[in-house]
Structure 1
Amino acid sequence: MMLNFYPGPSKIYPEVRTYMTDAYDEGMLGTPHRGEQFVQLSRATVGLIKRKLNIPEDYYIFFTSGATECWEILIQSLTKHKSSHIYNGSFGEKWFDYAKKLRPKSEGIAFDLNEAMPVEQLEISADTELICFTQNETSNGTQVSATTILNLHNRYRDTLIAVDATSSMAGLNLKIIKADIWFASVQKCFGLPPGLGVMACSPRAIFRAKQMAERGHYNSLVSIYEKMLNYQTTHTPNTLGIYLLRRVLEDRPFIKGIDQELIDRSTALYEFFAQFQDIQLLVENEEVRSRTVIALQASERLVDDIKKRALHHNIRIGNGYGAWQRNTFRIANFPAILDEEYEELKRFFLHYYA
């Protein structure tokens, strides 16, 4: 069996196999998405997302096709003129590039891989309608801490803040109340197959969407919100994805426990990889290291060799990404991956260097 440490799509919970059969047997796959069976499923799933992931009761939950669709929804439905994007890696920058296509005046603020987001030095224009950043930058294994998010929230209280939490939602206990919008795809910490996004919006974000009343798109936020008042979607939804999400959340512990497990495991992984001379931790500053995506740097030749040999041993390691594509590899630290699988990974590296 292949051990999958790819940082998304990543390992799915083995129980998903049973859940899929159950979905078929329960007649869920052919059920009308305006019917009672779907509405009940949607309502139950929203309740579980809030309860299990510690999302405030007054936030609204929406289903999308994935996180990148959320980039589009938020720019078109919450900004008339511009958004400001703070980034230090490929995914944050892609969101900014995409925003510029829709709102050419959008601004980007880049910061360094090894520095915390420089909240005090930020010069965000007064006419910015939406501040955007990636909580966990999958491309380089960095993260923005809860304290930094709190400082950003305190400094720009009147501006909506949107957070791409694709590699951390359902893995880390995020302080949702400190930003207006959080979103993720399910193929990472949720332990599910790709094709579904989850977005949580504050009452303030919905108020702004209603004010703007942008209805020019099938996935306009105000339309999504109105449909979801009845636990329905604007589009024909990924019913199987939502069903699997409900089942996984029912069987998983609360986020607090998962968060602690991932933090402990990431600490052990960083310590383990620090012992090898020709592998470096890409992120030197411990404060900004991701807890869910471990990025490791080595020569191009060594990276290539490690990945090939790992695959030969049925171990899939993540490629580098963006600027770090050729000289890094990445290890996912997601809840669906078992401790013993990491022990197997460690044995491979110890054997490789023997």
Structure 2
Amino acid sequence: MITFYPGPSKVYPQVAEYATDAVRQGIVSMNHRSAGFMDIVKETIRLIHEKLDVPADYHVAFVSSATECWEIVAQSLTAEASLHPFSGAFGKKWAEYAYRIKPPMNLSEADVLCLVQNETSNGTQVSEQTMAQFRRDFSGLIAVDAVSSMAGIRFNWDLADVWFASVQKCFGLPAGLAVLIYSPAALERAHSIGENTHYNSLLFIHENFEKFQTPYTPNGLGIYLLMRVLQQIKPIVEIDRMTKKRSSDWYTFFDTRSTGFKLLINDRATRSDTVIAVEGSEPAIKAIKTAAHQAGITLGNGYGDWKNTTFRIANFPAITDEEIEQLKNFLVTWSSGPQD
């Protein structure tokens, strides 16, 4: 079965071999305070900096999920209030979750701006130009949910203070781990707030990762698999080039081919490079997903307001050109035949 589901999505095929290595070499049984495991953490952090071109002064930590990062931003980095401009379901969820932890008493004094760089629910993204405008206009910290784009496209890291992503999308790994990247300014804010009462308080996390340790027993297998995948992938500048070429081809495909469907997002400037959202009637969407499944292809379901009237196509690095061509051929064939 070929999967284009936008998360959890396709894992790199080498992950099976890496997981076997982890068991055979005893890595999954390592004490997380041992020198051997700390070496794995250290090397994984080094590779994050190298392969994703993260500035040397930005810190890297590993937590359980992007949802946990929402919590960390709210409890450890928000002094007064956070602002949450959003374009889809996940941005809205982040706002609702953050406001349960830190109620928005006075938004005019907001000191954290929270952005979803890539809105998985509807296939939109915040461009680098828009990010730069936010950076110029907002004086506080900027936190970015990059779940569906980190390791798939290149970022200008200086445009935000906190970046985070779960690994089950562009990293091509199983779910259960997230990468948290934060600037010296974010760490300074954490110190000024001084919140250190939770296992996932940023100060406690930072104190541990400075020693290449974790504040709790971590997903050791996940960290090891991340290290191995980072060793195999190309630098982000090359992955970015591939991702954007593929997304351009996908958008041209739906703009120019008669498939019976249309792109959900008309504004080219806000279309995602990593999640393509395709719109159709509810019966047509149901039929195409069923037919695709019978052909050995999993399309992504719609989400939120678009649950029944869209399907989504992941454009993640682990997906091959051959698989993309197979899906395109299926769409063309399906559109030209009987659809009842």
In the alignment, which residue of structure 2 is the partner of 1:341? Answer: 323
Residue identity in the other structure for 1:293: V
- The one-character-per-residue Cα deviations of 1:207-231 (angstroms, maximum 9, x if unpaired) are 1101111112110011000011101
Which has the larger helix fraction?
A: 2
Query: Which 4+ residue blocks in structure 1 deviate beyond 4 angstroms?
Result: none
Among 120, 123, 134, the alignment partner of 1:141 is: 123
In the alignment, which residue of structure 2 is the partner of 1:214? Answer: 195
Residue identity in the other structure for 1:273: F
How big is the alpha-carbon RMSD for the aligned residues of Structure 1 and Structure 2? Answer: 1.0
In 1, the alpha carbon distance for the partners of 2:159 and 2:78 equals 20
1:129 positional shift: 1.7
In 1, the alpha carbon distance for the partners of 2:249 and 2:30 equals 45
In 1, the alpha carbon distance for the partners of 2:277 and 2:127 equals 17
Q: Does 1:74 align with 2:73?
A: yes
1:27 positional shift: 1.0
What count of residue pairs does the alignment treat as equivalent? Answer: 335
In 1, the alpha carbon distance for the partners of 2:259 and 2:272 equals 21
1:169 positional shift: 0.2
In the alignment, which residue of structure 1 is the partner of 2:237? Answer: 256
- The one-character-per-residue Cα deviations of 1:45-80 (angstroms, maximum 9, x if unpaired) are 000001100110000001010101100011001113
Residue identity in the other structure for 1:78: L
In the alignment, which residue of structure 2 is the partner of 1:296? Answer: 278
**Which structure 2 residues correspond to residues 27-106 of structure 1 after superposition, within 5 A?**
27-105=26-104
1:96 positional shift: 0.2
**Which structure 2 residues correspond to residues 235-246 of structure 1 after superposition, within 5 A?**
235-246=216-227
1:278 positional shift: 2.9
In 2, the alpha carbon distance for the partners of 1:106 and 1:133 equals 20
Q: Does 1:329 align with 2:328?
A: no
Residue identity in the other structure for 1:310: A
In the alignment, which residue of structure 2 is the partner of 1:174? Answer: 155
1:40 positional shift: 0.2
Q: Does 1:129 align with 2:128?
A: no
Would the aligned equivalents of 2:258 and 2:332 in 1 still touch at CA under 8 Å?
no
What secondary structure does 1:329 align onto? Answer: strand
In the alignment, which residue of structure 1 is the partner of 2:135? Answer: 153
What secondary structure does 1:189 align onto? Answer: coil
Gaps of 5+ in 1: 108-123
What secondary structure does 1:330 align onto? Answer: strand
What secondary structure does 1:68 align onto? Answer: helix
Gaps of 5+ in 2: none
Would the aligned equivalents of 1:66 and 1:196 in 2 still touch at CA under 8 Å?
yes
Residue identity in the other structure for 1:40: D
What secondary structure does 1:249 align onto? Answer: helix
In 2, the alpha carbon distance for the partners of 1:191 and 1:321 equals 21
Would the aligned equivalents of 1:100 and 1:106 in 2 still touch at CA under 8 Å?
no
Of all paired residues, the percent bearing the same amino acid is: 49
